[in-house]
Amino acid sequence: MKLKTVLLAAVAATALAGAARADVLIGTAGPTSNAEALFGTTWQNGMDLAVRQANAAGGVQGQKLQLVREDDGGDPKQGTLIAQKQCDNKEMLAVVANFNSGVTIPSSDVYNRCGLPQVTNASNPKVTKAGYKNLFRPIANDLAQGAAPAEYALEKLHAKTAAVVHDKQAFGQGVAEVFRDTFTKGGGKVTSFSGVAQTDVDFSALLTTIRSENPDVIYFGGVMPAVGLFVKQAREFGLKGTFFGADSAFTPDFIQGAGAASAGAIVSFQAPPYDSSDALKTFAADYKKAFGEEPGPYSAYGYVEASIIIEAMKKAPLPLTREGIVAEIAKSDFESVVGHVAFQPNGELKQPFIFLYQVKDNGFSLVK
């Protein structure tokens, strides 16, 4: 009996000592090696910045944080393997994963099974359908993303016709369908709804067809660099309609890539531009100092997603546990650099932020 107590105490002491010594690990998985490598890497850099700042401020409840980055290559199979690896790592208390909806859906099964708090950047509405309590999405989903520009086109621009193009990927097609449905419901006419391949760079054939339809509005559901090329070629072909794009067009690359053609284009994004508030200006400056380059389109989101976890860790009871952090994330209620963060019971934001920007004088200006 006595021996048992001693043993238990020893085990408890080692465990405590271990907890005090070891860093608290936060995991992340996103594409850092394929066509989306830029998004994935700059997104993870944003998290890295949040972790570094938290450590500089003394860590969380006396413990240092460490970000463990993984590359899922945008591949669902690798996503589940990494999820399991992170689950098995007992020191890992939360993850920011994944970047793609197609990876998040299967990986969330794995994360759910081990109760690891998961904050995702995937915008497909289906992601939260499983009703997992440990899954949170602090960004607007595709429904909001596609609807806002359609409403704007109908109400503000009084557009009657629209040509809709998408890249046949989960995100691009998702938002394009929402745009089409919202636009049609509002009385507009969609002249054509076409898919292109994600890797396409030449849209001349499609644009020649669209030119003959002469639409008021052209909506492109897809990601950079395709969206930049599309706008550029559209203008070269003399298309006059107002161009609308989805979030990933919200980058300086878009304006540079499309050149003068981008002027007047309207882009929807979940975050305000990096120069729109003091908090974001500071963020962009810090980012540049840390990584030597401008932040990518999702850097601010990576930063916010990691911050959500860090904020929750600050409040969670010691010793930190996965369950404790899940409970605290669910109670999140703070002002992040992009907007107010508070979750519904299904893990979606209470008030998803979506902004529309217009390209003016080589910069983005807020229109809505």
Q: Is 70 in the site for another protein (CB under 8 A)?
A: yes
Residue range at the interface with another protein (CB under 8 A); choices 152-160, 224-232, 322-330, 356-364: 224-232
Q: Taking the complex as a whole, how short is the minimal distance between the CB of residue 205 and another protein, in angstroms? A: 4
Site string for another protein, 122-151 (x = CB under 8 A): --x-x--xx---------------------
> For the window 12-51, what string marks contact with another protein as x by the rule CB under 8 A?
--------------------xxxx-xx--x----------
Q: Which stretch binds another protein (CB under 8 A): 45-53, 78-86, 241-249, 306-314?
A: 78-86
Cβ atoms of 302 and 43 within 8 Å: the answer is: yes
Contact code string over 293-332 relative to another protein, x by CB under 8 A: x--x------------------------------------
Work out the number of other CB atoms within 10 angstroms of the CB of residue 220: 29
Q: Which residues contact 233 (CB under 8 A, 6 or more apart)?
A: 202, 203, 204, 207
Report whether the peptide linkage leading into residue 346 is cis, meaning its omega lies within 30 degrees of zero: no
What is the residue type of 189? K
CA distances from 252 to 157, 326, 364 (A): 25, 36, 9
Among 56, 57, 62, 88, binds another protein (CB under 8 A): 88
For another protein, which is the closer residue by CB, 149 or 225?
225
Q: Which two tokens stand for residue 258?
A: 């499309």
Neighbouring residues of 235: CB distance < 8 A, sequence distance ≥ 6: 258, 260, 261
CB 351 within 8 A of CB 341: no
Minimum distance of another protein from residue 64's CB (angstroms): 20
- CB nearer to another protein: pick between 33 and 351: 33
Q: How far is the CB of 1 from another protein (least distance, A)?
A: 31
Taking the least distance from each CB to another protein, the nearer of 82 and 139 is 82
Using alpha carbons, select from 266, 260, 261 the residue that is nearest to residue 239. Answer: 261
Tell whether residue 292 is a contact of another protein (CB under 8 A): no
Q: Mapping DSSP to helix (H, G, I), strand (E, B) and coil, where does residue 292 land?
A: coil
Contact yes or no for 156/137 (Cβ under 8 A): no
**From CA 205, how far away is CA 167, in angstroms rounded?**
15
Dist. CA 117–CA 170, nearest whole Å: 24
Q: Which residue of 162, 196, 306, 354 would you call a contact of another protein, by CB under 8 A?
A: 196
Judged by beta carbon, residue 87 or residue 147, the one nearer another protein is 87
DSSP 8-state assignment for residue 124: -
* Nearest to another protein of 49, 316 (CB atom): 49
Size of the site for another protein (CB under 8 A): 64
Identified binder of another protein from the candidate list 6, 8, 189, 209, rule CB under 8 A: 209
Q: Does residue 118 belong to the site contacting another protein (CB under 8 A)?
A: no
Nearest-5° Cα angle at 151, 147 to 156: 150
Nearest Cα neighbor of 137 from 298, 346, 297 is 346
Tell me the C-alpha to C-alpha distance, in Å, between residue 164 and each of 146, 169, 207, 367: 11, 14, 11, 21
Does residue 237 interact with another protein by CB under 8 A? yes
Question: How would you classify the pairing of strands 242-245 and 340-341?
Answer: unpaired
Strands 118-119 and 92-97: parallel
User: Does 84 help bind another protein (rule: CB under 8 A)?
Assistant: yes
Which residues make up the interface to another protein (CB under 8 A)? 32-35, 37-38, 41, 69-71, 74-77, 80-81, 84-85, 87-88, 101-102, 105-106, 109, 124, 126, 129-130, 168-170, 172-174, 192-197, 199, 201-202, 204-206, 208-209, 212, 224-225, 228-229, 232, 236-238, 253, 256-257, 259, 293, 296
